[in-house]
Amino acid sequence: MSKSPVDLIPAPDARRVPQNFITEVIDEDLRSGRHTRVVTRFPPEPNGYAHLGHAFASYLDFMTAQDYGGVCHLRMDDTNPEGETQEYADSIIRDMQWVGWDTSRLFYASDYYEQLYEYAVELIRRGLAYVESVSGEEMARLRGTVDQPGTPSPYRNRGVEENLDLFRRMRAGEFKNGEHALRAKIDLASPNFKLRDPVLYRILHATHYRTGDTWCIYPMYDFAHPISDAIEGITHSMCSLEFVDNRAIYDWLMDHLFPVEKTGRTPPRQYEFGRRSMEYTVVSKRKLRRLVKEGSVRGWDDPRMPTISSMRRRGVTPEAVRAFAAKIGVSRTNRTVDLALFENAVRDDLNTRAPRVMAVTRPLKVTIQNLGGERMLSLPYWPADIVMDIPDGRVPLPSGERMSPEQAVREVPLTRELFIEQEDFSADPPKGFKRLTPGGTVRLRGAGIIRCDEVIKGADGEPVELRVTLLGEDAKAGGVIQWVSATRGVSAEFRLFDRLFTVPEPDSEAQQFDPEQPGHEDDSKPLNTDFMSFVNPNSLVVTRGVVEPSVARDPASARYQFERAGYFWRDPVDSREDALVFNRIITLRDTWAQKTEALEPKAEGKPRPEKREKAAAAAPMARPTLESGQEAVFQRLHKQGVSENDAYMLAREPQLVAYLGSVADKQLSSLAPWVVNDLASSIREGTNRVSVEALSALVALVANGSISLRSAREVLAEAQASGEAPAAIVERKGLRVVSDEGQLRAAIQRVMDENPGKVAEYRGGKKGLTGFFTGQVMRATNGQADPKTVAKLLGEMLG
C-alpha cells in the first residue's frame, strides 16, 4: 500500500535537515496535496571545481529530498560555453559522489537545448517575446531607473512572423555576437528590474564542451533554469538569496508555459535561503581560478584550496564534510561561517578515527649512551580517554580493522640513536619550558626517562646531537616528548598546511559584480583583486623527518594523529612507497584562535571585532624559540630584507643558508622564498640540481617581467628533473613574456576584428569590457602577453 503525501513528512527527530522555513513549505505542500512527492535538484555550473559552499548547498538539496523519501537530481547548469569544460563537469560529479550523494539521476541543461528553443518559439508565437536589435548598452539605458519606468525599444512591437524569422536566423548563425537578442515582453514599469523585458537568448559564437558548434545562441540562466526544473518534474527549487529577484521571472515562465491546467501537475516554485561564505577563504570560482592560474596554489586540488577535491587530497573525510554542512543551518539571511566550525568538524571526525603514532618533522639526533642493543616496545594506538568516546569500545587500526584497545598495539623499536623534534630541546630554555635542556630530564613516550648529559654542536654553533642517559622509572621528568628510531625510522616529507589567507574576509571589499549571479553570463567586467595581497605566505611549510617503521606497512588510506604534530595521511598524488609524503590534515587545536586571544586587551577599551581581526592578521605567526646562534642568523637575514617567516625557516636549517652562500644582500630577499618553498626538500636530500646562480637568473626573469611566476615554477621543476639551466629552458620553450608592442598590437587587432559587437559596446561607454579584451589577448598569446603593455595598447586602440 503506497504512502499518502502526509505520511512522507518526517518526524522532528528523524530529520537530517533541521526544520526550517523551506521544510515548513514542503510540509504544507504535502498536507494540502499540492505535491504528492518531493523532487529537488542541485544545479552547479561546470566552470570550476566544487567548493565547500557547494557542500552546504548540495547537503540541503540531497538531504531534504532524503528526509521526505524523495529524490534529488544533479544537473550541470551548462548554458554558458565560455569557461565551462568537461574537466569541471567530471570533477563536480566525482566530488558529489565522494561527499556521499547519489548521482545516478544526472542531467545536463545542454540536453534540453532543443526543447528550450521550442519554448522560446512558443513565447514568440504568443506575443510574449521579441527579437531585440539595440546594443547591450542601449538596452540597459532603455530599462529606466529606480524612479523612471523603462522605455519601449523600437523593436518591441515587431510582428510575430518577423520575430520568428529573426530568431531562426539567429540560430542559423547569420548574425554576429551582440547583434540581436531575444527578450521576454513582460513589464517595463515593474519595480523589479528583472521583469523589465529580460533577455532570454543571446548570440554567442562559442564552442560548447558537449554540443560543440551545433548552437550559436544560448539561453540565459533565467530562462533555462526554471524550464529545466519543469522538464525534470522538480517540486521545490532551492537556491541562494541572490536569486530572490529572479523568482519573478521563474514564476512568470511557470505561469505561462507550465500551468497546472495544461500539464496536469503543479509547477515547481523557487525558494531562497541565505548564502554561506567562509572566513579565511574565497569561494568565487573566478577568484579560485586566479589563484590557480597565477601559481599561488598548485592546482584546484591543492590542499590549501577550499574545493572539495582539495579536501579529499588533504585527507578530510566525506563524513566530516557532511557533519560540517549539517551544522551550518538554514536561514533567510546571508552569513559568514567561522572557518573554525569546519576545522572542528574535521577534528571531531578524526579524533576517534585516527590511531596515534609518533613522527618527528624536524629531527635532532639523540644518542642513548647506556643503551646496549635494540629494544622492541609494544605501544597502544589509542589513549584510554579516547577509547571511552568510542561507542562499542572497539578501536580502529590503520588497516581499518577494529579490535579491543588491548589488542590495538604496534611494535616500536627503541634504538641507541633516536630523533626528537628540534623544538623539544633548548640550550637556553624560556620560563616554563618542560622539555629537554642541558642536564635536564624528559620522558620519551612509552620508552622511559632520559637525561641530557652532553650537547654536540656543529660548525655554526647549533646543536647537532644530544648524548643522553636512560634513567630508571623513579626519576622525575618535566614533560613527555615523541621520538623515532634514527636507524629504524622511515624517512618522510611533511607538508604542513595552514589557512590560505591571513585575514577573515579577504574579498570583503565591494566588487563591481559577482559572475556567479544570474544574468552575468558576460564574464567581462573587472573584479576587485585586492584579495591576492592577503594570501598567507605560511600556508605551506615543507619539512623532512621520520615516522615509526610500522607506518610503512599500513595502507595508503590510513589516517593518523602524529602526536603533538596534528592529523596526517599520505598525499595520494605525490607519496610513493619509497618516498613517503604526508599531508597535515588539521592541527590538533585551533592555533588561530589562540593567536587572536593573545591579542585581546585585558583592560577597558576592548576594540571592535573587526579591529581584533585586523590585529590578528597583522600579528606574526607563532613559532618556537630559536637558539642563540639561530637567532643571530635570523636577525641578520631579516635585516637584509628576508621576510620574517623565510628568515626563520633559513635560520633553523644551515643547509639552506649554505646554499645561498655569498649571495648579495639585495638578492637575498628575492631568492629566499624560492629556496624555502621550492628547493628546500631537494637541498636537504642532496638531490638539488639548480645552482644558486641559475636560480638567481630565473628569479631575475620573473622580476623584470620576462616570464610569469607560474611558468617560472614549472621551469624550476623541470630543471630539477633534467639538470638543464632554468634560463635555457625558458629560451628553448619560448616562455618569455611578450612585450613587443608591434606583436601585441597585431594580437589586439585580431581580437577586435573577431568581436566587433563588443568593440562597439566598449566605444559606446561600456568600459567594463576592458577585462574581456584583456582576457582574449592573453588567451591569444598563450598567457605570455605583458599585462601592463596590453592595458596601455588597449586604451589606445579601443579609443
In Å, what is the CA distance from 345 to each residue of 159, 277, 317, 466?
60, 17, 10, 40
Residue carrying C-alpha cell 593573545: 598
Please answer whether residues 427 and 463 qualify as being in contact, where contact means their C-beta atoms are separated by less than 8 angstroms.
Answer: yes
Q: Which of 41, 45, 312, 314 is catalytic?
A: 45
What whole-number distance in Å separates Cα of residue 778 and Cα of residue 751?
10
HSE at residue 485, side-chain half, CA atoms within 13 A, is: 22
- Which sign, positive or negative, has the C-alpha torsion 571, 574, 575, 580? negative
Please answer whether residues 764 and 798 qualify as being in contact, where contact means their C-beta atoms are separated by less than 8 angstroms.
Answer: no
Please answer whether residues 653 and 422 qualify as being in contact, where contact means their C-beta atoms are separated by less than 8 angstroms.
Answer: no
C-alpha cell at 587: 592541527
Residue carrying C-alpha cell 526544473: 229
What whole-number distance in Å separates Cα of residue 138 and Cα of residue 193?
15
Among this protein's residues, is 183 annotated catalytic?
Answer: no
Among this protein's residues, is 45 annotated catalytic?
Answer: yes
Q: Which of 183, 269, 285, 758 is catalytic?
A: 285
Torsion of CA 235, 240, 246, 248, to 10 degrees: 50
Please answer whether residues 27 and 70 qualify as being in contact, where contact means their C-beta atoms are separated by less than 8 angstroms.
Answer: no
HSE at residue 755, side-chain half, CA atoms within 13 A, is: 23
Please answer whether residues 428 and 498 qualify as being in contact, where contact means their C-beta atoms are separated by less than 8 angstroms.
Answer: no
Residue carrying C-alpha cell 505561462: 256
Q: Tell me how many degrees the CA angle 101-61-41 measures, rounded to the nearest 5.
A: 90
What whole-number distance in Å separates Cα of residue 585 and Cα of residue 557?
13
Nearest in space to 164 (alpha carbons), one of 214, 114, 120, 115: 120
Please answer whether residues 634 and 469 qualify as being in contact, where contact means their C-beta atoms are separated by less than 8 angstroms.
Answer: no
Pairing of strands 356-357, 269-273: unpaired
Q: Which of 183, 275, 559, 766 is catalytic?
A: 275
Q: Is 377 exposed, middle or buried (0-12, 13-18, 19+ CB in 10 A)?
A: middle
Strand order in 71-76's β-sheet?
Answer: 39-42, 71-76, 106-108
What whole-number distance in Å separates Cα of residue 530 and Cα of residue 290?
12
Among this protein's residues, is 185 annotated catalytic?
Answer: no
DSSP string, 207-234: -BTTTBTS-SEEE-HHHHHHHHHHHHT-
Residue carrying C-alpha cell 559564437: 205
Pairing of strands 217-219, 236-240: unpaired
What whole-number distance in Å separates Cα of residue 18 and Cα of residue 237?
18
Helix axes 609-618, 591-599, angle to 10 degrees: 110
Could you list the active site residues?
Answer: 45, 275, 285
